[in-house]
Structures are given as structure tokens and as C-alpha cells.
Amino acid sequence: AIATVSGNFRLTGEGASSDIRHIVLDFGQAAFPVLEGQTIGILPPGADAQGRPHHPRLYSVASPREGERPRYNNVALTVKRVTEDHEGRPVAGVASNFLCDLAKGATVNVIGPFGTSFLMPNHPGSNLLMICTGTGSAPMRAMTERRRRRIALKEGGELMLFFGARAPEELPYFGPLMKLPRDFIDINLAFSRVPGQPKQYVQDLIRARGDDVFRLLAGEHCFVYVCGLKGMEEGVTEA
Ligand code: A2P
């Protein structure tokens, strides 16, 4: 499908080391149904050094199924501008730079949606345990927003979030997240690089909140979602 950019907003603070953006894509008249937890593929224009078209890159949808705004035929993505690899060597970041530089009204070639396993349970009373770092928060935002829009239905089900970032200004959606009612979502933020504070990872907070995590896990209807840095998987599993 061809989507049109209807918004591109920076999420990270002025002093932040990363440029993370909230990008809204509108599908106009085209049918492009997605579910929370699915990904879509972005086809960057142009070709690589060998003249071959760029590979599509997958991004998690950050908005709920009925759209970033209800009844709009759109999806939101959370995109971090990639400029270097984990060792600090410069890399092209073809798709992320293409997306982060998009102006309102620009068009994007999209394929998908993809994903059949990272989906929300149909049972609305089920509990969701969400563990993420950085832009891994995109699917968690989609699921949380899905539940928030249905709050009045009183379907039940607890939400517990563990979210890791270097500092508050690096944490996408920090403002809106902190405005959510405490009885709607149990939020646990782990910051690793706040001066004067001990380094914290999500797995440290999972341990600290062990009793409540255990209570959720022991329940019949608990679903666990982990998204973000590959490296956290081991620590989270151990915790
Ligand atoms: P760190 O400050 O040690 O890099 P990033 O900003 O690079 O996307 O990382 C998001 C958060 O995940 C950072 O707070 C980062 O901490 C943290 N992190 C790095 N490695 C791990 C790990 N093995 N387990 C959990 N969190 C991690």
C-alpha cells in the first residue's frame, strides 16, 4: 500500500542522545487492517551500492487496531534514528533515516501487516505483563491504548509495565505514560544513566516487584510480552 505521512514528531528531549520519532501514516482509501503487536514493512526508496533495491525494514505498530485516532485509517510507528552500531561505528540506517526525515504529506511504500504470535489475548480479563526498552515500547503502547479506549467497558485485566531507558528524556512517550491512572497500569521505570542514581535495568525492577510479578504469572490468564534490546532477554528470563 502507499501511505501518506500525516505527522512526524520528536519524542525524545532536547538533551537526549537519541532521536526517537512518532510517525503517523495514513492509508486513505486503502484497506490496511492491523492488530496490536503486528509489524509493517517499510520500503525505503532508492538502491544500495550494488544497485539493488533496499530490503524492507519491519517496524512494530504503536497504535491500536482502530487507528492512532479512532476511525482514522492510520497507524503510528516509533522510530529511532540509527547512526551507529552497538560498537559506535557509523552505519547508514537507511530506513530509519528515511522515516525520521519524512515531511507531512510525503508518501511511503508499505507492505504487511506481519505477525501472528505477538498478539493480544482475546479474553479481555487477561493480565498483560509488558517488558521493554527504548522503541520496544511501540507494541506496548498499542496494547495499552487498546485497553485504555475500552476502560469504560470494565472488562478487567491488569496491566503491569517494566520499561527501561537511559534517562527520562530518552524514554519515548514519557509524558503521556505518566498521565495514565495508577489503577489502570502499574508502571515501573528503570533508568540506567541518570547522574547520581544507581544503574537500573528492567530485570532489577522485576526482582524488586517479585511478589506482584509472581501473583500475575501464577494467574490463569497472564500474557507476557518482551520487546527491545536483544541483550535484555537473558536477564529478564533469569529474573
Ligand atoms: P545502558 O545504559 O547500560 O546502555 P538503548 O538506549 O541503547 O536503546 O538502551 C535502552 C536501555 O536498555 C538502556 O537503559 C540500556 O542501558 C538498557 N540495557 C542495555 N543492556 C541491557 C541488558 N542486558 N538488559 C537490560 N537492559 C539493558
- How confident is the chain (239 residues) per 10-residue block, as mean pLDDT? 97 91 97 97 95 96 95 96 90 95 98 97 93 97 95 87 96 94 96 97 98 95 96 96
Say what the pLDDT of residue 20 is. Answer: 97
| The C-alpha cell that represents 60 in the structure block | 512494530
Say what the pLDDT of residue 45 is. Answer: 96
Ligand 1 pocket member 235 (CB < 6 A): yes
DSSP state of 20: E
Q: Which atom of ligand 1 is nearest to the CA of 166?
A: 14
Q: Which atom of ligand 1 is nearest to the CA of 193?
A: 2
Contact in structure between 18 and 171 (CB atoms under 8 Å): no
- What does the buried/exposed string (b/e) look like for 17-50 if buried means 16 or more CB atoms within 10 Å of the residue's CB? ebbbbbbbbbbeeeebebbbbbbbbbebeeeeee
What distance in Å separates the CA atoms of residue 158 and residue 209, rounded to the nearest whole number?
15
Distance 167 CA to ligand 1 centre (A): 10
Say what the pLDDT of residue 151 is. Answer: 86
State the pTM of this model: 0.96
**Phi, psi (degrees; rounded to nearest 5) at 163:** -135, 125
Say what the pLDDT of residue 90 is. Answer: 92
The half-sphere exposure of 46 on its side-chain side, counting CA atoms within 13 A, is: 7
